[in-house]
Amino acid sequence: MSEENIKLLKKVGLKITEPRLTILALMQEHKMEHFSAEDVYKLLLEKGEEIGLATVYRVLNQFHEAKILTRHNFEGNKSVFELAPTVHHDHIICVDCGKVFEFNDTVIEERQKQISKEHGIQLENHSLYLYGKCTDIEKCEK
C-alpha cells in the first residue's frame, strides 16, 4: 500500500479503500497508456484481483471527478482514462487499431491562444484529437 496514494486519496476527499488503492496503483504502473473500464477490469483479473466491473466504473468516475484521472472519448461514446497529466498534451488516434500517440507542439498551442483571443475568448482548457490511420500497416494493431 503506497503511503503517497493514501495521502492523495485523503487530499481529494475520497475514502481509503482497497479497490481505490489497487486501481490507482494499476493506473500508475501503466501511466503512459489510455484504458477503458473494461481494460482495467481485465488487468485486475490477470493480477488475481477480485474487483467487480461496476466497482471499476465507479472508481474511475470518482477519480475523474477528483481530477486524478482524465477522461477521453476517442471512440465515440467509449470512455478511456489516463492519469491526469502534469504537462498538457494532445492526441493522435489511429481509427483502425485505436493506438493513441501523445504529443505537444508549442506552435499549435500558441495558435490556439491567438484564435481564442481573436474571438474574445479567454482560453481556460482545450483538447485536440487528431484521427488518422497508421502508415505502417504491418505495425497497425488491428
109 marked as part of a ligand binding site? yes
Which H helix or E strand runs over 37?
helix 37-46
Q: Is 126 exposed, middle or buried (0-12, 13-18, 19+ CB in 10 A)?
A: exposed
Q: How many CA atoms lie within 13 Å of 104's alpha carbon, on the beta-carbon side?
A: 6
Give me the amino acid identity at 34: H
CA distance 2 to 63: 17
96 marked as part of a ligand binding site? no
97 marked as part of a ligand binding site? yes
CA distance 136 to 25: 33
Give the residue ranges of the annotated binding site for Zn(2+). 94, 97, 134
Give the residue ranges of the annotated binding site for Fe cation. 88, 90, 109, 126
Give the residue ranges of the annotated binding site. 88, 90, 94, 97, 109, 126, 134
